[in-house]
Chains A and B, each alone.
Chain A
Amino acid sequence: MAVSLAPTFTRTRDRLDWRQGGIVAFLLALLVAFILYPILRVLWISLSDDAGNLTLLHFLNFFRRPLFRESLWNTLQGGFLVVFFSAVMALPLAYIIARYEFRGKVLLQTAATLPLVIPPFVGAVALQLILGRSGMVNLILMDWFDITIPFMEGLTGVVLVQTLHFFPFILLNTAVSLSAIDASLEEAAQNLGCHGFRLLRRITLPLMLPGFTAGSLLTFIRAIDDLGTPLMLNYKNLLAPQAYLRITTIGMDDVDGYVVCVVLVILSLTALLGARKYLSLAEYASVQRSAAIPRKPHGKILALIWLMIGLILGMSLLPHIGIFLLSFSKVWSFSVLPTTYTAGNYVEILFRAPHFVINTLIYTLLAAGLDIILGAAIAFLLLRSRVPGRNLLDAIATMPLAIPGVVLAVGYLRVFHGWDFPGLGAPLTSSWFILVIAYTVRRLPYTVRACYAALQQVHVSLEESAQNLGANRLRTFAKITLPLVAGGLVAGGLIAFVTSCVELASTIMLVPRIELGPISYGIYLYMQSPLGRGAGAALGVVAIILVSIGTYLTHRIFSGSAGRAFKI
């Protein structure tokens, strides 16, 4: 944002610039080493021929092939449909969260994060057991009406599952935007005789548009890059699965897979830049504002609210219900509910393999901490300095949003494996720290955005006043800036923690040995055998509980600001 800081800086400008320049250089070196270079090493394949020379042939071939054109079209179509249906689900809930105050709201906010956390594999199995062609719903339908509904087939299935999975992005963003609308604007309209639907249409909707747009674009990007859903539904004519299948197919260095990756990256970055451009036009920081005071609903309205919540969250938490049931089941085959129950699955994961849970906590908390430090530093440079190179930092830090986990993992193996990392006595890829790095990098885009949003809302005049009163920069930062942005920082850390808990794509490739694996890896291991389904689901339940506790605490401590984590 073009907030002028010139007066503050004139006195010590040279020294400050030098120091900030050093930080930028250091951060740039970090990001290039762990993001840009590994990714370019992999994607170079798509731009070179057999002799290693530059060629665009592979990209031309992409557009010549009907299969890829079809996949591109399906991807775009799916992305837009997901955004549309997510908006339908999210907007009523966002309005309720922003405008009403009632008992149990924190629970609602916690539950609204859970759809984002569908543990890999078990999520798929659980959803099949409920919505699949021989799932709970269809078995009942078959029994009562002798019909079945193909919820989970083809592109329809992908759109359904992705909608249930990603709609919180729109929900949380819009809710933040709604509660940030200056109440005086609505009051002014009301005083002028504008009420009800007209008020909503003319004042409220336009003002919440920035948040809604941000959420929609994030949903769009996540939907087109999402690999888990199409794979679990075995729908392959989309870009993300085409890239994955071709890259990981045995014995073939299939260049087309990497080309599809690059196309995906371009699509995502275009969407992202579009979003930025739009938002930078529409959103500004304010020194202070009078937020709307939430109403306390009673009677019929309260009942209606809970009905709505029950309906929407009930639907989006179906996989979680399925996972819970599966975790207590021994045999669940072609029946509405499991036929044999057991608690043995929990005994297995808590006593025989507790390291999965412990590792997850260590890795994800470390990654979240690193993300907060990096995110805050980058956001600070973006907003409070004019050092050249800071926008480059931002661009590189955003890239992982569009890079498939597999590509990043292969890049890491390619770059870091051959040599001993200084001070480690072994290659970086032989230690578990590579997982922390991968998680940090994969979630960095979220924390940068969250920190940016938090810092943006602290007007620079507050810091200037502190300095005018004699505080030095460090003291100003510690006493003024940090307390004001802490909520946003923690929110950013939260989303890094939440999504890392179930990160799979890069995990499988990078885990150096089984004892060092996190929960997502443990689930993968258990799900490879018929005996392990229940234990895998039990691990999934643990992941969901960890995430719930994290989210609940964050909402409790920093009420409301957690939503910022999902801003872009």
Chain B
Amino acid sequence: MRRGSLLGALLFFFLTVPTLFAKDVVIVTSFPKELFETYKKSFEAKNPGITVVINSKQTNEGVTYLRETKAKPDADIFWVSAPDAFQTLESDGLLEKYAPPKEIMSRIPAKIGSFPIHDPDGNYFGFAISGYGLMWNKNYLKAHKLPVPKEWTDLTNPKYFNHLVISAPSRSGTTHLTVETILQAYGWEKGWALLLNAGGNMGSITDRSFGVPEAVISGQYGIGVVIDFFGLSAIASGQPVEFAYPSLTSVVPASVGIVKGGPNPQEAKAFVNYLLSEAGQVVLFSPEIARLPVIPELYAKAPKDYPNPFKKKLGGVNFNDTLSSGRRDVVNSLYDHVITFRHKELRDAWRSIYKAEDALAKSKSAGVAQGKNLVAEARNLASQVPINDKKASDKEITGAFKSKSGVKAQLETEWENFARANYAKAKELAEKAVGLAN
């Protein structure tokens, strides 16, 4: 035992001593290896004497890590896609305010579409633009004889039943923004109707953002709802997939922020400056990274056919960030309790509806008109959510998600029961309609 502890002490010594002298910048990031390795190399080449130390974590785990280590932070930089992760950290007071040099900031516009690129309070900075869209596997669509999707509304096409994949918005900040984009583009009621119908068509709802491109690349599912660089980098690596932005999409920045009280504040600033400078921005064009820089003039140097979010009319939606972040917990939990956790029932309902519509279209029996009424009612039932948009932003309800009072449990139970009852009824009506068609 004693020798063991001596050995342990020695190991500790060799482990910690080198870190006392070298200058590090410690980065918590959810980005893929290709991205952070390229940046590590290029930053270290420009800043001799500083070593980039990467601590790679999923976004959620990164936030938890920063929270649990706030007494004595190990990390200097937080670097992920999802804006809501930064908002959470900001409201917890875990980010350091910073004002990068004027000559850097002056080249970056304040907004992309209606979305501010940087946090107005200077807690985090957008370094790349991302849009949301659809990616599909060419081989898969060909084998199943499916059309190529173009718009969000295409996701409700009965032909796509069981061929789609999405990640749960509660698990993936980028999917949450996609869901919000749809809700804001089509309005609360129509938006949810679309989401529920598309939810019924989903073959699977994953818990990791990357689960979606993975399922599409390997051909488990045909079409996935993803952030653009998942699609673009998969294309660049030679996979048989394609990607497109729907006409109504919003573009949102991926950001970087400095951790409050981190061990290397000077190096952290140097890294943020580098990321936002021209030298750091052109790195985004590398095919294995494939992201969109925030300096508009750089697109002149972009590879051929590179999407330009400042020129192209990408931001079809005037995205309201305050609205989105205010009701985030409610929207995510609602999605989980009416779609993710009730996926089986939702799918059953829509399968029956499609079957009924098919049968009615072919049928010449007298009951067709009555059957069509039943199906319309079934569709309506399988397209409703238990609360309206006013309530979703209500302080009392959003507050319940931050407290342990038990109101949240009650709400979620209500939503779940509402969904269960509606989907069962919809299925029953659709089956009755099939009977009328025969």
Does A50 have its Cβ within 8 Å of any Cβ on chain B? yes
Q: Which residue on B lies nearest to A429, using beta carbons? A: B69
Instruction: Give the residue of A50, A414, A525 whose beta carbon is less than 8 angstroms from that of B33.
Output: A525
B52 smallest CB distance to A (angstroms): 10
Which residues of A have CB within 8 Å of B210?
527-529
Q: Does A154 contact B (CB under 8 A)?
A: yes
Chain A residues within an 8 Å CB radius of B387: none
A66 touches B420 (CB 8 A): yes
How far does the alpha carbon of A57 sit from the alpha carbon of B430 in the complex, in Å? 40
Judged by a CB distance under 8 angstroms, whether B413 is at the interface is yes
Choice from B1, B238, B332 contacting A331 with Cβ under 8 Å: B238
* CA A509 to CA B363, docked complex, whole Å: 58
Q: Which chain A positions have C-beta within 8 A of B217?
A: 333, 530, 533
Judged by a CB distance under 8 angstroms, whether A85 is at the interface is no
Which of A49, A128, A426: most chain B CB closer than 10 A? A426
Counting chain B CB atoms within 10 Å of each CB, the highest count among A57, A129, A245, A431 belongs to: A245
Name which residue of chain B comes closest to A421, CB basis. Answer: B12
A138 to B1, CA, bound (A): 55
Asked if A425 contacts B32 (CB within 8 A), the reply is no
A250 interface residue (CB < 8 Å to B) = yes
Stretch at the interface among B107-115, B153-161, B190-198, B403-411: B403-411
A305: Cβ under 8 A from any B Cβ: no
In this complex, what residue of B is CB-closest to A71? B341
Nearest neighbor of A411 in chain B, beta-carbon distance = B68
Kindly state whether residue B219 has any CB partner on chain A within 8 Å: yes
Interface size on B, residues (CB 8 A): 89
On whether the beta carbons of A335 and B12 are closer than 8 Å, the reply is: no
**B260 at interface by CB-CB < 8 Å:** no
Choose from B33, B221, B412 the contact partner of A65 (Cβ within 8 Å): B412
Q: Considering only CB atoms, which chain A residue lies closest to B59 in the complex?
A: A250
Interface string of A415-455 (1 = CB under 8 A from B): 00111000111110111110000000000000000000000
B215 to chain A, nearest CB (A): 8
Task: Kindly report which residue of chain A lies nearest to residue B176, judged by CB atoms.
Answer: A250
Whether A532 pairs with B32 at a CB distance below 8 angstroms is yes
Inter-subunit contact A426/B26 (CB<8 Å): no
- B200-208, B246-254, B302-310 - interface stretch: B200-208
**B72 contacts partner chain A, Cβ-Cβ < 8 Å:** yes
A58 at interface, CB cutoff 8 A: yes
Which chain A residues border B16 with CB–CB below 8 Å?
A: 424-426, 431
Instruction: Indicate whether A256 reaches chain B with its CB closer than 8 angstroms.
Output: yes
* Whole-angstrom CA separation of A231 from B20 in the bound complex: 40
Bound state CA distance, A519 and B341, in angstroms? 32
Residues of A within 8 A of B (CB): 48-50, 57-58, 61, 64-67, 125, 128-129, 132-135, 154, 231, 234, 236-237, 241, 245, 248-253, 255-256, 330-335, 340, 370, 373, 410, 413-414, 417-419, 423-427, 429-433, 508-509, 511-515, 517, 524-533
Give me 21 A-to-B residue pairs in the complex whose CB atoms sit less than 8 angstroms apart, sorted by A's number.
A50-B404, A58-B404, A66-B417, A67-B412, A132-B218, A134-B218, A248-B58, A252-B402, A370-B4, A410-B64, A413-B69, A418-B71, A424-B12, A427-B69, A429-B74, A511-B56, A526-B33, A529-B233, A529-B288, A530-B234, A532-B34
